[in-house]
Every structure is written in C-alpha cells, then in structure tokens.
Amino acid sequence: MAKQILLKNIEVPGLASFGVYRQLGGYSAVEKALANYTPDQVTNEVTRSGLRGRGGAGFPAGMKWGFIDKKTENPRYFVCNFDESEPGTFKDRHIGQLNPHQLIEGMILGSYALGAKTSYIYIRGELFYVLRIIEKAIDEAYKNGFLGNNILGSGFSLDLYCQPGAGAYICGEETALLESLEGKRGNPRIKPPFPAVVGLYGCPTVVNNVETIAALPWIINNGGEAYAEIGIGNSKGTKLISACGHINKPGVYEIELGLPVEEFIYSDQYCGGIRNGNKLKAVVAGGSSVPILPANLILKTAAGETRFMSYESLSEGGFQTGTMLGSGGFIVMDETACIVKNLLTFAKFYHHESCGQCSPCREGTGWMEKILHRIESGHGTMKDIDLLVDISKHIEGNTICPLGDAAAWPVASAIRHFREEFEEHVKLQKCPF
Amino acid sequence: MPLLKVTIDNIEVEVEAGTTIMNAARKIGGSVVPPAMCYYSKLEGSGGKCRTCLVKVAKGSSKDTRPMPKLVASCRTLVQDGMVVENRTSPEVMENRRAITEFLLLNHPLDCPVCDQAGECHLQDLSYEHGLEETRTEEDRRTFEPVDIGELIKLHMNRCILCYRCVMVADQITDKRVHGVLGRGDHSEISTQIAKAVDNDFSGNMIDVCPVGALTDKTFRFKSRVWFTKPFDAHRGCTKCGGKTVLWMKGDEVLRVTGRKDKYGELEEFICNSCRFEHKETADWVIEGARNIERHSVISQNHYEKLDLPENAVEGK
C-alpha cells in the first residue's frame, strides 16, 4: 500500500468537522510551526521537501515562495487556487469536500511562512456545495482559535476567506484568478510582472493549488526530508490522480510518484484494468490539455523503458513521444473510443472557455472546433487535417496565457499519434465508431 | 541614467531604460516598426492582446545572451542593454504575423466596400501587407446586428477585433465607463450593459482609437469615402479640449472632424464631442493648412511607395 498523506483519513466519517479532524491529530502542524519555527524555517522545510505545484505546471513550491517580494511595505497575500475545472481532473474537490480542515491548516502554514495576514481560497462557482463545507470549516477554525487575531498566542493573525468565482476555466490561470478575485473580468494579465511581485491588489502574492497546500501539514509534522524520501528523481512525495474513462474503478487515488503506469492502470488497488476486458487504446495522462498517448507509448517510453507516474518519466521523449503529469486527470480510452470525437469534445471546451483577450486563442480555438466537427460528422477533407496541425502550431506559444497551448497540444498530439483515424473519417465520410 | 543599446533588424538604437521594444523600433522608424492593432501609447495598460507585434529576441541582453524561448509582444516587453531583436529579418516572425492576420480576419466580415473605415483601417493595412491572398476557412462567421451605442456612435460588432482600446478610452479619458466586453472567447462582444447609452463629452474618441470599422461616427456614416475628402489641420478655442483637430472636407463642406493622428494612427490629443460632432461649419474653425497622411493605406491613393525594408528582410506571406 502506497504511503497515504492526503487521503489517509478520508474515509473517516465526519472528517469535515473540526472535532474529528482535531482528534486525528489535525492542526498539530500549526501548533508546531507557530511555536517552534520562524516563517523562513517553514519555507525551508517546504523547499527541502521538493514539493512541486500540483496544479499542472509542477513548479517547485518552495522556490515559488522564495520569489515573493519581502522588501515592500505592502501587505502580502496567499491565495489557494480551487478553480479546478480541467476536464478529467476532480482531485481538489475530493479534498475540499471531505477534508476541508486539512486545506485550512495548509493555508495557515503557508500564510505564516509568507507573512500574509489575509488569505483567500478562490473556488469555482460550480462547486457551491463545497464552498458551504469550507465556510463552515473556516467558522469552526475561527471558533477554536486557529484563525483570527493572535493565533494560539503566537502573535500571528490571519483572516481567511473563501470566494466563489462565476465558473470559468480561465480563472484557474493564476493572474486571471487574481483579476477575478479583485472583482474584475477574469482576463489573464500579461507577465512580467509576476504575482510574486505584483499580485492581488498590486501586492506580492503567492497562488498555490489545493493539493499543494493540503500537503503542507504533513511536511511540517514529519519534516521536509521525510517527504523527499518518497517518490523518484525530482518527483517527490505523493500525488492525487483522478482516474476516469473506460476503467473498472474510476476514482481519486493517492499514489507515490514513481509508480509504473502499467501497474496504475491494471492493478486492482487502482484502476482495476480496462472495462469488459477491452484493449487499452490511449491515455490522456494529466488532464485534457496534455498530449494524448497511444497504449504502447504510455506503458513504455519510445526507448522501451518502463513509463512511471512521475513528472520526468511521463515527459520522457518530449512532445514527440511523451506527455506530462499535468494536474493528474487520468483519462483512459479503450478500443471503442473515437479519438476524433474525444478531441472534438476537448476542442469545444477550450473554444467555450477561451477568454477572448488575445487573437490566436480567441479565433483559433473556435476554428479548430468547427473543423473537427466537420471531420467527425463526415464532411472533412484530407486538407483539413493538415490545416488543424497548422492552426495548432500558430496558437502554441503565441498567446498571453497557457490556455492557448492547452488547446493546441491535444490537437497536435492526437493527429501525431492517430492520423490514420482522422484519415479514415475522411475516407469513409463518417465516424467509423 | 545610461542609455541602453538595442539592435532591431541589424539597426542599432539607444533608448532610455523602461522603453519597450515597440517604442525603440518607433525611434528607428520605417518598416522595422512592428504593426500594432491593440497597443496605443496614450492608453495605459494597452497592448499585448492582438499578438501582431510579436518579434523574436535573438539575444536577451549583453549579460544574458540567451535568446528568449518564445516570440514576445514587442509592445509589452522592455528592452535590455545589448538586446538583439529580429522583426522583418526573421522568417518565424513573418510567418506568425501571417497567421495572426488570418486569425484576425477569421470572423471579420470583409465588408470593406460598405465600411466607413475603409481607407484608414489598420486591419486593411495589416492584411494588405501580411495576409494571405485567399481564405482557408469555409465556416460561418460570427454575426451581430449593428447597434447604436448612444446618439453619436454606431457599433458594428462583426468588424471588432476586441483590442479593448475603446474600453480603455472610456476608463481613462471619460468620467464613467458604461460599456465593456461581455461574454468570452470569439463570442464576446463590446456592449453597453442593459441598453445604456454611451453619453459623455469625450466618448467620440472611442471612434478614433478603433483600429477597424467597428465604431463609426454616426454624423459621417455613408456621407463619403474618406479618400474623396481632403484633410486639413484646424483649431478653435475650445474650453473642454485643446481644440486641435483635422477637418475632412469636400469642397467647402466639413464632412467630419477627428483628432490628429500620427503616423502610427494614434491620436496626438484627445478631443471633445463638441468639437467633433457639433462644429461642422468652416466658420467655426481656423484652418492651418493641408494635412499630410503618411500611412500607406488607401487614403494615400496614388502615393503608394514601396516599403523601405531593412537589409536581409524576409518576404512576408
């Protein structure tokens, strides 16, 4: 059984209440940090742990904290990115809904380390029922003296708010999130300046993913080094994977980074194999925006080595033969799945969610969706396939924020690995599935 | 403060710290200046959106000589000492500019023959220089009905490229903004919430900053093609603005009043609605003399000159 850090007590009834969480050792990390650690020592533990951002980019959390501008006299802010809306990703909701106090404890630790006196959890509007759970938990934390003025007599004060968005994927991009949190239209900002220098209300800000923040209590309790012992290479610790698609046991699993992909798909402990004993066709390994890989390349790298669930191993081979760990939205497709139809679904999503600020993404996403719709409905031509590749190439890297890349990569990779299937759609003038 | 040295298309220029690549290029002038559809030097925070001004930074600075990994928006990227920038001389940049032009035209109605902006349209210039000669799309374009946003301004949302300039004008020049961008993606639109009218002493500047024919002057609509009018610099004593304008005349008749635009199509000064819409008699104005329009669009008809391209320039398209 893999080490359980985030989901250890997740099945305990009533975990969302303060009493149960506290009984299981909750908030001991806050007690420990406020009594024994300076803010910088907390940051050092996180740096030592090798924890990487779990929102998708995998940027080292300690390093991100290190960038915050501490010289300014302006207040600093710590913000939790709970705008989880990538198709295939539903891990943060799991924590927020079942174990909100773990997230709050992490928020207190992060705010203490960064010197933030006000912090925000920005949650997507569709998760209103989770917002209610978190707000109740925040109230309990206030009542028990873990939030508010002079926490545990340490002199450190923190106000924590949970703010719902209006339901936009783009507000998961950290600068768009900050705009939205300020009450503006959620358009990503042009970087630089980065939020660590000019963030929320123009003040230094760190934005972290829910899962990243939820790992903080364990790291403080057990030490950064203990966390760094789990995992392989530069992929430390455990990761939540939300598995869905044509598998026997969809759900949220906590894995130690470095688990072989084959074991994750076929072991009864995790996905439990492909439904009806079907053949594995393709996997989107890290949420809809990462490149899709065919069965042979997801199980083994192009060089024939075993592929592991880790940042490095999944990206082995670059975009030609590799993919990314991303946010951990693991979408499995068996032989009955139509790649074109699946891609059309993704394209529709990105078209709908593009903020419309910069032209390549605004126009390109809609164009790709229309062409894919044409191919899927049997009216495509061979030229359309090349046109798709050309469009995706001109969106990628040319946009203000990564949404453009996220829309372009699935298209480019699907055609790279499954070109025959697109051609079959054109030849048959219909979807063969 | 020592000046920073930056090389753009093999031409060296010295600029102050805090200058963007775009403005360094404008200091050199000529064809090394990247086209700008959304950047407007007089509007704070503008730029970065249209992506037509993307350039390649082949060398970051003399300290960090690495090239930048992606093309950068020249209007929002500051120069570093020793930076080497490729605009016209980079095939990658020219290829991308073609692509961006295609994206901008994707949902554009191409109704130039009936559009008031024709002849002084930045999108026309851009596609003339960088666009493909044929279209690769057969899809339906997004369509909206033209609407009046106030007494004096007509909005053709079909033609809009969402540069946000008019939003910034309303934010920064007028007392109160009552219009903005609603919706998102290619279905987003410039609109006034709940049919509110744009009614402000300086709202007319929205028309001047619009790079395309999305916002047009209702007092001038369909009166004449711009190239049949003659522009004259003129001024009047105005209590609200500087009163320095351009009169667009046909014979003795003043057909239109606009602000004075420089060679990048940017207003030198914003003007008030009273000058723009209410003073259309020659007697209202002191005429200074004919205005020379430098831009190479239709308005300078019969004065097309071949672009003076820098050495090693790559052919576009």
Q: What ipTM was estimated for this complex?
A: 0.92
Spatial neighbors of A420 by CB under 8 A, at least 6 apart, are none
The answer to whether A367 contacts chain B (CB < 8 Å) is yes
Q: Which residue of A has its CA nearest to B94?
A: A394
User: Confidence band (pLDDT; 50, 70, 90) for B313?
Assistant: confident
Angle between helices A100-114 and A91-98 (to 10 degrees): 100
| Whether residue A214 is found in the same domain as residue A240 | no
The answer to whether A366 contacts chain B (CB < 8 Å) is yes
Question: Smallest Cβ distance to A354: which of B76, B136, B184?
Answer: B184
B99 contacts in A (CB within 8 Å)? 360, 394, 398
Cβ <8 Å between A398 and B49: no
- Closest by CA position to B272, among listed B176, B192, B208: B208
Query: A90 near A245, Cβ under 8 Å?
Result: no
Residues facing residue A292 across a β-bridge: A284
Domain extent, residue A343, equals 339-428
pLDDT at B172: 94
B100 contacts in A (CB within 8 Å)? 359-360, 394, 398
Residue A78 located in a structural domain: yes
The answer to whether B57 contacts chain A (CB < 8 Å) is no
User: Confidence band (pLDDT; 50, 70, 90) for A400?
Assistant: very high
Q: Considering only residues 173 to 212 of chain B, which have any Cβ-Cβ distance to chain A shorter than 8 Å?
A: 180-181, 183-188
Quote the percentage of chain A above a pLDDT of 90: 97
Place of tokens 């025959």: A420
pLDDT at B311: 77
Question: Smallest Cβ distance to A370: which of B139, B164, B184?
Answer: B139
Angle between helices B91-106 and B122-130 (to 10 degrees): 130
Query: A397 near A403, Cβ under 8 Å?
Result: no
B99-121 per-position pLDDT tens digit: 999 999 999 999 999 999 998 89
Distance CA B68, CA A405 (A): 17
Residue A160 located in a structural domain: yes
The last residue of a domain, from among A190, A210, A228: A228
- List the single best residue of B184, B188, B189, B191 to mutate versus A (max A Cβ within 10 A): B184
Cβ <8 Å between B185 and A351: yes
Using CA atoms of A107, A112, A115, A118 in order, give the dihedral in degrees to the nearest 10: 40
| Whether residue A253 is found in the same domain as residue A223 | no
The answer to whether A184 contacts chain B (CB < 8 Å) is no
The answer to whether A288 contacts chain B (CB < 8 Å) is no
Indicate the number of domains in chain A: 3
B198-251 per-position pLDDT tens digit: 888 999 999 999 999 999 999 999 999 988 888 999 999 999 999 999 999 998
Q: Which residue of B has its CA nearest to A366?
A: B186
* Mean pLDDT on A207-218: 97
| Whether residue A294 is found in the same domain as residue A387 | no
> Which residue intervals of A215-333 are DSSP H helices?
216-222, 224-228, 261-266, 295-299, 311-314, 318-321
User: Confidence band (pLDDT; 50, 70, 90) for B300?
Assistant: low
Report domain extents, chain B: 4-98, 225-295
Residue A377 located in a structural domain: yes
Question: Smallest Cβ distance to B99: which of A170, A362, A394?
Answer: A394
| Whether residue A103 is found in the same domain as residue A187 | yes
pLDDT for B317 beyond 80: no
The radius of gyration of chain B from alpha carbons, rounded to an integer in Å, stands at 20
Residues facing residue B248 across a β-bridge: B231, B256
The answer to whether B171 contacts chain A (CB < 8 Å) is no
CA distance B97 to chain A (A): 10
pLDDT for A237 beyond 80: yes
Question: Smallest Cβ distance to B184: which of A355, A398, A400?
Answer: A355
B137 contacts in A (CB within 8 Å)? 367
How do beta strands A76-82 and A235-236 pair? unpaired
For Cα atoms A200, B68, A292, give the angle at the middle one, nearest 5 degrees.
80
Cβ <8 Å between A397 and B73: no
Q: What is the DSSP letter of A336?
A: T
pLDDT for A429 beyond 80: yes
CATH number of the domain encompassing residue A423: 1.20.1440.230
B70 contacts in A (CB within 8 Å)? 397-398
Q: Which residue of A has its CA nearest to B188?
A: A356
User: How many beta-carbon pairs below 8 A join chains A and B?
Assistant: 87
Cβ <8 Å between A356 and B180: no
Question: Smallest Cβ distance to B51: which of A352, A356, A359?
Answer: A359
pLDDT for B303 beyond 70: no
Distance CA A71, CA A247 (A): 51
pLDDT for A290 beyond 80: yes
CA distance B216 to chain A (A): 22
Considering chain A, what is the average pLDDT of its residues? 95
CATH number of the domain encompassing residue A118: 3.40.50.11540
A363 contacts in B (CB within 8 Å)? 103-104, 106-107, 186
CATH classification of B4-98, choosing from 3.30.470.10, 3.10.20.740, 3.30.450.90, 3.10.129.10? 3.10.20.740
| Whether residue A246 is found in the same domain as residue A122 | no
User: Confidence band (pLDDT; 50, 70, 90) for A383?
Assistant: very high
A16-56 per-position pLDDT tens digit: 999 999 999 999 999 999 999 999 999 999 999 999 999 99
pLDDT for B306 beyond 80: no
Question: Smallest Cβ distance to B185: which of A365, A370, A371?
Answer: A365
Residue A320 located in a structural domain: yes
Q: Which residue of A has its CA nearest to B55?
A: A398
The answer to whether B72 contacts chain A (CB < 8 Å) is no
* Mean pLDDT on B37-63: 95
Helix (H, G, I), strand (E, B) or coil at A119: strand
Cβ <8 Å between B103 and A387: no
| Whether residue A288 is found in the same domain as residue A353 | no
Question: Smallest Cβ distance to B51: which of A356, A365, A398?
Answer: A398
The answer to whether A368 contacts chain B (CB < 8 Å) is no
| Whether residue A142 is found in the same domain as residue A203 | yes
The answer to whether A166 contacts chain B (CB < 8 Å) is no
C-beta atoms surrounding A303 within 10 Å: 8
Residue A375 located in a structural domain: yes
pLDDT for A81 beyond 80: yes
Query: A301 near A322, Cβ under 8 Å?
Result: yes
pLDDT at A407: 96
Cβ <8 Å between B184 and A356: yes
| Whether residue A161 is found in the same domain as residue A216 | yes
A57-73 per-position pLDDT tens digit: 999 999 999 999 888 89
- List the single best residue of A190, A354, A362, A367 to mutate versus B (max B Cβ within 10 A): A362
| Whether residue A265 is found in the same domain as residue A359 | no
The b/e string for A264-278 (b: 16+ C-beta within 10 A; e otherwise) is: bbbeeebbbbbbeee
Quote the percentage of chain B above a pLDDT of 70: 94
CATH number of the domain encompassing residue A327: 3.10.20.600
Structure tokens at A272: 């439990």
A185 contacts in B (CB within 8 Å)? 180-181
CA distance A389 to chain B (A): 13
Distance CA A64, CA A8 (A): 27
A340-351 per-position pLDDT tens digit: 999 999 999 999
Distances (CA, A) of A67 to A63, A179, B235: 7, 20, 53
pLDDT at B302: 53
* Mean pLDDT on B76-87: 96
pLDDT for B297 beyond 80: no
pLDDT at B307: 61
User: Confidence band (pLDDT; 50, 70, 90) for B129?
Assistant: confident
CA distance B145 to chain A (A): 20
The answer to whether A397 contacts chain B (CB < 8 Å) is yes
Cβ <8 Å between A359 and B136: no
CA distance B136 to chain A (A): 8
| Whether residue A176 is found in the same domain as residue A283 | no
The CB-based long-range contact list for A13-18 (8 Å cut-off, 24+ gap) reads A15/A98, A15/A99, A15/A101, A16/A97, A16/A98, A16/A99, A16/A100, A16/A101, A16/A133, A16/A136, A16/A137, A17/A140, A18/A101, A18/A137, A18/A140, A18/A141, A18/A143, A18/A144
C-beta atoms surrounding A215 within 10 Å: 27
pLDDT for B296 beyond 70: no
User: Confidence band (pLDDT; 50, 70, 90) for B314?
Assistant: confident
Distance CA B36, CA B75 (A): 8
Question: Smallest Cβ distance to A394: which of B96, B137, B187?
Answer: B96
Q: Which residue of A has its CA nearest to B103?
A: A363
The last residue of a domain, from among A175, A206, A228: A228
A109-130 per-position pLDDT tens digit: 999 999 999 999 999 999 999 9
A145-157 per-position pLDDT tens digit: 999 999 999 999 9
Query: Which segment of A412-416, A417-421, B259-263, B292-296 scores lowest on mean pLDDT?
Result: B292-296
| Whether residue A404 is found in the same domain as residue A323 | no
pLDDT at A333: 97
| Whether residue A66 is found in the same domain as residue A138 | yes
CA distance A379 to chain B (A): 12
The answer to whether A355 contacts chain B (CB < 8 Å) is yes
The last residue of a domain, from among A228, A247, A275: A228
- H helices then E strands: how many in chain A? 19, 13
Q: Which residue of B has its CA nearest to A350?
A: B185
Q: What is the DSSP letter of B73?
A: E
Cβ <8 Å between A354 and B99: no
Q: Which residue of A has its CA nearest to B180?
A: A185
Q: Give, for A39, the enclosing helix (H) or strand (E).
A: helix A39-49
